[in-house]
Amino acid sequence: MKDNLKEYISKYISLSESEMTDFCGLFQNKSVRKKSFLLKEGEICDFEGFVEKGLFRIYHIHPNGVEQILYFAIENWWLTDLESFTNASFSKLHIQALEDSEILLISKNDKEYAYNNIPQIEKLFRIMTQKTHIALQQRMMDNLSKTADQLYLDFIEKYPQLSQRLTNLQIAAYLGISHEFLSKIRKKLFISK
């Protein structure tokens, strides 16, 4: 375990062997069974997680009962409820495993310890935050300017390894459309090929 984390870190920053060992030692291994929750709405998110193996969905349930998936997390991706983690506030999100998964979790206190004792870690998380902001900005622009057909095609092209592991219902909840509408899109696209 933690080899994927070490490889991920090394793509963005350089740490000495002892710094890498110290930082990776702050993470706790956790096995999460399919359909189990890491976080439910109303709880306080006290972790950031790095997915070693498996698949998670991070979602919100609107007052009208409609589920909206904000993002998925697969191997070598990070997950958290950033607002809850940062402010120790009650979460508005659910984090659920869609497959049997292995995840590495770091607490807020341990992350702060890393910031104070391994200066390069702040650079790592700054880079991660910038990448996340870029992806969110692009997703917002796409949602405002593209049709559902284009959003679906973009999703399966950008995340082919992910789209193969999801149900149409999960993809529809991510795209913000009904399962029935996605079925019509898929049928139309399949017929036109």
> How sure is the predictor about 52, in pLDDT bands with cuts at 50, 70 and 90?
very high
What tens digit of pLDDT does each residue of 87-109 get?
Answer: 999 999 999 999 999 999 999 99
**Mean pLDDT across the chain:** 94
- CA angle at 104 for the pair 103 and 106, rounded to the nearest 5°: 140
Percentage of the chain modeled with pLDDT above 70: 98
Average pLDDT over residues 118-125: 96
Q: Is the pLDDT of residue 31 over 70?
A: yes
- Is 60 exceeded by the pLDDT of residue 122? yes
Confidence of residue 1 (pLDDT cuts 50, 70, 90): low
Q: Which CATH superfamily is domain 3-144 in?
A: Jelly Rolls (2.60.120.10)
Biggest CA-to-CA distance, the chain: 58
**Which two structure tokens, joined as six digits, stand for 16?**
């000495």
Q: Is the pLDDT of residue 193 over 80?
A: no
Q: Where are the domains of the chain?
A: 3-144, 146-193
Question: Residues 153-183: pLDDT tens digits?
Answer: 999 999 988 888 999 999 999 998 888 988 8
The CA distances from residue 11 to 37, 43, 77, 127, in Å, are 30, 33, 13, 11
**pLDDT on residue 192:** 57
